Amino acid sequence: MRIPLALIFFFSIHLLCATNFSEVDSLIGSKRYLDAWKKLDSIENNENKIEVNLRKIDLCLKYHVKSISHQAFAFVNVPKGENLLQQKQLASQKMISVFPFKIDAIIDSLITESPNNYALYKTKGDYYYDIFILYGRKWVKNKHEVLRLMHDSFKKADENGVRDYLSLYALGYFYTLNEQVNLAFQYFERSLKLDSSYAPTHYNIAYLYAERDSNQKALSHALMAFKLYKYIVYKCDAGQMAGNLLNKLGNHKEAISILLKCDQMIPGNYQVYHTLLSSFLALDQLAKARITTESMFSIDWKSHAINTDLIELYVQTNYLDELLSFYQQKLTNESYNMEYRGHIQLHIAQAYELANNLKEKLTYINLARTSFHICYDEGHPVFGVLAKMEK
C-alpha cells in the first residue's frame, strides 16, 4: 500500500518538532538553560508557538538566574559541579544580559487566539502565583489584582480538567486569605491527593484545624509539615506549631522534644521558649524552667509583655514563688544599675498584683519609684505606669 506524500510530509514535520523538543529537554536536563532558551527561540513558528511559549514560560519560572520584574529573564549554562542557586547569587552581583519576555501579555495573546486551550490558563495561574510569592505588593499590578488573576486562571483550568497539586494548593491558599475556610479545606485536600509530600499544604491544613480548635487533627499535619520541610525557617515554624499543639493537648514530653530541636536549629525564638517554659512547669521540671526563664528574660529585661507572660505562666502553675526567687536573684546580682533594678522591682510589683497581694505590690511600686527617680526625669512615662498601678 502506498502512503500519500502529503501524509508522509505531515508526520515528518511532527517528528521534527518532537525531536527539537527532546533536544530542549536534554539541554534542560544538563542544566544548559541558556542554550535551551536559544533553541526554543530558534524553532518557534506559527504551528508550535503555543507549545514553545509554554515551555519558555516554564523555563522562565523555574530556571532563570535573574529577572527584571518578571518581564525579562536571564539564563546561564550552569558549569559542572555547580548549581542554579550559586549562579543566581553570582548573577545578582554583576551585569548579565536579559531576554525581554512579557509573560502576561504573551499568555493573554495566546488565550485570545486559543480560548479553549486550558493549559494556557493553568500557566497563567502559575505565572501570577510566582509573582505573588516573589513580589508581594511590589509589582506592576497590585497584590489584590495579582491574586484575582491567579485565582481566576487556576479556577478556569481546574474546571476544565487541567490542574496539578500546586494550582490546587494556590486556590486553597487564596480561599484561606479570604477566610473561606470550607473552600480552602476542599482545595488543600484535593492537592494532597495529587502530592501528599508537599509540606506547605500540610502546614496550612494544620493552621486551619488549629483555628477551629481541632488540635488533634491539626497536630498530624503540623508534624508532617515539620518532617517534610527542608528550608530550616519553615521547618522550625512547623515545629513550633506542632510543639504548641502538643502542649495544648497535654503531651508535654513530646512538645519539649520537638521544641528543643527547633531551638537547636534557630536559637532565640521567643515563642519556642514560651511553650517550652509552659511544658517544663507542667512537668515540675523547675531547673529547666529557670534556664528557659533566663532565656526569655534576656531577650528584653525591660519588656512588660515578656515579663507579663512569665508571671502568668508561673501563676497558672502555682509556682509564683519560683519566679519571685528568680527576680530577687537579679536584684542581688545588680546593686548599682538603678534602671535595671527599677524594672525588676516593677516586674515583682506586677507579679504581686496578679497574685492579689496588695501590700507587697505597693511595697515594690515604691521601691521601683525610688530607683527610677535616680535615673529618670520626673516626666518619664514609667512614673505614669506606677501611678496607675497604685489605684
53 assigned to some structural domain: yes
Cell of 150: 491567579
Whether 264 is in a domain gets the answer no
Residue 139: predicted pLDDT: 82
Task: Return the half-sphere exposure (C-beta side, CA atoms, 13 A cut-off) of residue 56.
Answer: 27
Number of domains in the chain: 2
**pLDDT tens sequence across 180-210:** 999 999 999 999 999 999 999 999 999 999 9
Q: Examine residue 181 and state whether it is found in any structural domain, yes or no.
A: no
Rounded Cα distance, 102 and 44, in Å:
16
Cα-Cα-Cα-Cα torsion 169, 60, 136, 146, nearest 10 degrees, comes to -70
pLDDT digits (tens, 9 = 90+) for 279-303: 999 999 999 999 999 999 999 999 9
Tell me what pLDDT residue 4 has: 52
- Can you give the pLDDT at residue 94? 83
One-letter amino acid at 342 equals: G
CATH of the domain at 359: 1.25.40
Q: How far is CA 22 from the centre of its chain?
A: 36
Regions of the chain where pLDDT drops below 50:
1, 5-19
In the listed set 51, 66, 101, which residue is the last one of a domain according to the structure?
101
In a domain, 62, yes or no: yes
In a domain, 209, yes or no: no
CB proximity list for 351: less than 8 A, separation 6 or greater:
311, 314, 315, 320, 323, 324, 327
Domain boundary among 55, 81, 101: 101
Per-residue pLDDT, 390: 87
Mean pLDDT of the chain: 93
Within a domain: residue 283? no
The answer as to whether 18 is a domain residue is no
Range of the domain at 32: 27-101
Q: Are 119 and 163 in contact (CB under 8 A)?
A: no
pLDDT tens, 2-39? 555 444 444 444 444 444 688 999 999 999 999 999 99
Pairing of strands 72-74, 66-68: antiparallel
Residue 85 to residues 69, 76, 90, 91, 237, Cα–Cα distance (Å): 19, 12, 9, 10, 23
The confidence score (pLDDT) of residue 20 equals: 63
Q: Is the pTM of this model over 0.85?
A: yes
Last residue within a domain, chosen from 75, 101, 127: 101
Q: Which pLDDT value is given to residue 12?
A: 46
Is residue 82 situated within a structural domain? yes
Distance, in Å, from the CA atom of 143 to the CA atom of 162, rounded to the nearest integer, reads: 25
pLDDT of 367-383, one tens digit each? 999 999 999 998 999 99
